């Protein structure tokens, strides 16, 4: 977990992927080059329904400045985003809307459940609240806390960046991925 002091001093340069370098050249695999580009240009769609969304606003502000991670371009159009960030309590009535948003996003796409409510329903163990968004869509990273601090949200973004940077270009066409989608009844 990052401390506040670490975050504000975090380097802003993207790390060079593994490869072979010599005088005047650098060579790496296509997969690593694509991973490098993807992980440093994530376009988040903030699906914020309550208090955790306020922490996200702080994360986007000048002090924490998510732009340093290449993620300052928020998208409110599912078709132009690749990172769905679900922040807040999701009522069961809202479930189909969230699922529709996820389905409308183009592949490759990733999902973060930010905070206890999105991850598990949080303190709202009640008939009207979805007990975790992974009941209706697959989740890649869970950020704990009620609410999580901006440092934790940034930590979640960094975890997603690790996944994105190391993901095989073939994963989305794999049998395992298809099985995952089948579990959620998503074509």
Q: Which is nearer to ligand SF4, 88 or 132 (CB)?
A: 88
Q: Which is nearer to ligand SF4, 35 or 115 (CB)?
A: 115
- The answer to the question of residue 51 lying near ligand SF4 (CB under 6 A) is yes
Contact 123/145 with Cβ under 8 angstroms? no
Report in angstroms how near the CB of residue 47 gets to ligand SF4 at its nearest: 12
- Quick note: the x/- pattern for ligand SF4 over 147-166, rule CB under 6 A, is x-------------------
If DSSP codes are grouped into helix, strand and coil, which group holds residue 177? helix
Residue owning tokens 């986007």: 60
Environment class of 21 (CB within 10 Å of its CB; exposed 0-12, middle 13-18, buried 19+): exposed
Report in angstroms how near the CB of residue 153 gets to ligand SF4 at its nearest: 11
Helix axes 51-60, 150-166, angle to 10 degrees: 70
- The answer to the question of residue 58 lying near ligand SF4 (CB under 6 A) is no
List the interface residues with ligand SF4, window 105-134 (CB under 6 A).
115-117, 122
Q: Which is nearer to ligand SF4, 47 or 102 (CB)?
A: 47
Which residue, among 156, 141, 162, has the nearest Cα to 35 in the 3D structure? 162
Stretch that binds ligand SF4, among 29-37, 46-54, 153-161, 165-173 (CB under 6 A): 46-54
Residue owning tokens 């329903």: 121
Q: Which is nearer to ligand SF4, 133 or 164 (CB)?
A: 133
Contact 157/70 with Cβ under 8 angstroms? no
Q: CA 156 to CA 161: how far, in whole Å?
A: 9
- The answer to the question of residue 89 lying near ligand SF4 (CB under 6 A) is yes
**In the complex, which residues of this chain contact ligand SF4 (CB under 6 A)?**
50-52, 88-89, 115-117, 122, 146-147
């Amino acid at each position: 977990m990052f401390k506040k002091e670490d975050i504000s001093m975090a380097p802003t340069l993207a790390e060079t992927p593994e490869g072979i370098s010599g005088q005047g050249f650098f060579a790496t695999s296509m997969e690593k080059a694509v991973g490098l580009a993807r992980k440093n240009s994530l376009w988040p769609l903030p699906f914020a329904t309550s208090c955790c969304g306020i922490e996200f606003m702080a994360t986007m502000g000048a002090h924490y400045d998510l732009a340093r991670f290449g993620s300052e371009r928020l998208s409110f159009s599912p078709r132009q985003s690749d990172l769905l960030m679900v922040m807040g309590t999701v009522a069961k009535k809202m479930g189909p809307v969230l699922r529709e948003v996820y389905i409308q996003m183009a592949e490759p796409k990733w999902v973060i459940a930010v905070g206890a409510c999105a991850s598990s329903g949080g303190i709202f163990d009640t008939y009207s609240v979805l007990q975790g968004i992974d009941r209706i869509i697959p989740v890649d990273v869970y950020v704990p806390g009620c609410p999580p601090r901006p440092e934790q949200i940034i930590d979640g973004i960094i975890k997603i960046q690790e996944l994105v940077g190391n993901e095989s270009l073939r994963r989305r066409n794999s049998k395992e991925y298809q099985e995952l989608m089948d579990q959620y009844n998503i074509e």
